[in-house]
């Protein structure tokens, strides 16, 4: 797997005949976000759209996968709208251009994952924390085995796919050796990280299912 940290380089065309996944970090908008966070958030998604357009020199996006999506069609778009309207706009643009939004998650596994994740946030005793963390880790493994299987099945040779996922979850993702992974890293992302470091009000919130 090749990780491309920057985009828009002329040499990206050499990957045109390879299987590609364009990775976009999913950034959420907390209800209590400050005006500064909202401004950076808006700029981030604008820049994501611009960078994806440049990156498609290596291959136009034909498949779209997004974390937490186990539904299809209009139901999936409704979930995206509730999760992140800016992300929904980008996905809709790609669908209008011919791409297909494919369910990434297993409903059963994802709901168990969310349950264990929520439980872990409220436990107080070390023994219970350890027990739940073990069960969560097992579910995370199952979740990403499923996600890998979905990507293996639906991303064909020479195809380009868009994958939207929290960056902290990406570490669990394993891709085949024949897949090139491109990171979409717009300038606003660094600004967002700096804002989060400077102010707790910039913290990302995991959406409630």
Give me the tens of pLDDT residue by residue for the chain, a chain 209 residues long: 444 445 445 566 677 778 999 999 999 888 888 888 899 999 999 999 999 998 898 899 999 999 999 999 999 999 999 999 999 999 999 999 999 999 999 999 999 999 999 999 899 999 999 999 999 999 999 999 999 999 999 999 999 999 999 989 988 998 877 888 999 999 999 998 888 877 654 444 433 33
| pTM, two decimal places | 0.88
Compute the Cα dihedral for 188, 192, 193, 194 and give only its sign: positive
Phi/psi for 20 (5° steps) reads: -130, 145
Residue with structure tokens 């958030």? 41
The predicted pLDDT at position 118 comes to 95
Exposure string over 163-187, b if 16+ CB within 10 A, otherwise e: bbbeeeebeebebeeebbbbbbbbe
- Please name the residues in contact with 5: beta carbons below 8 A apart, sequence gap of 6 or more: 183, 185
Q: Are 18 and 178 in contact (CB under 8 A)?
A: yes
The predicted pLDDT at position 4 comes to 47
Q: Are 64 and 99 in contact (CB under 8 A)?
A: yes
The predicted pLDDT at position 200 comes to 55
Say how far apart CA 169 and CA 166 lie, in whole Å: 5
Q: Are 134 and 105 in contact (CB under 8 A)?
A: no
Query: Largest Cα–Cα distance of the chain, in whole Å?
Result: 54
The predicted pLDDT at position 12 comes to 61
Other Cβ atoms closer than 10 A to 37: 21
Phi/psi for 68 (5° steps) reads: 75, -5
Say how far apart CA 29 and CA 21 lie, in whole Å: 25
- Please name the residues in contact with 166: beta carbons below 8 A apart, sequence gap of 6 or more: 25, 26, 67, 204
Phi/psi for 100 (5° steps) reads: -120, 130
């Amino acid at each position: 797997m090749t990780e491309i940290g920057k985009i828009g380089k002329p040499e990206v065309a050499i990957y045109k005949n390879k299987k590609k996944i364009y990775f976009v970090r999913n950034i959420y908008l907390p209800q209590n976000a400050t005006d500064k966070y909202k401004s950076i958030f808006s700029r981030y998604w604008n820049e994501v759209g611009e960078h994806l357009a440049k990156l498609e020199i290596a291959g136009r996006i034909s498949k779209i996968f997004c974390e937490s999506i186990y539904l299809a069609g209009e139901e999936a778009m409704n979930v995206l709208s509730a999760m992140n309207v800016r992300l929904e706009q980008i996905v809709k643009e790609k669908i209008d251009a011919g791409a297909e939004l494919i369910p990434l998650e297993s409903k059963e596994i994802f709901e168990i994952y969310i349950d264990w994740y929520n439980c872990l946030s409220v436990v107080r005793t070390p023994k219970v924390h350890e027990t739940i963390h073990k069960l969560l880790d097992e579910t995370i493994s199952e979740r990403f085995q499923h996600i890998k299987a979905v990507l293996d099945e639906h991303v064909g040779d020479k195809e380009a796919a868009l994958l939207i996922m929290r960056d902290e979850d990406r570490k669990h993702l394993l891709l085949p050796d024949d897949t090139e992974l491109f990171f979409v890293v717009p300038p606003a992302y660094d600004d967002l990280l700096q804002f989060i470091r400077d102010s707790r009000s910039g913290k990302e919130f995991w959406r409630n299912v």
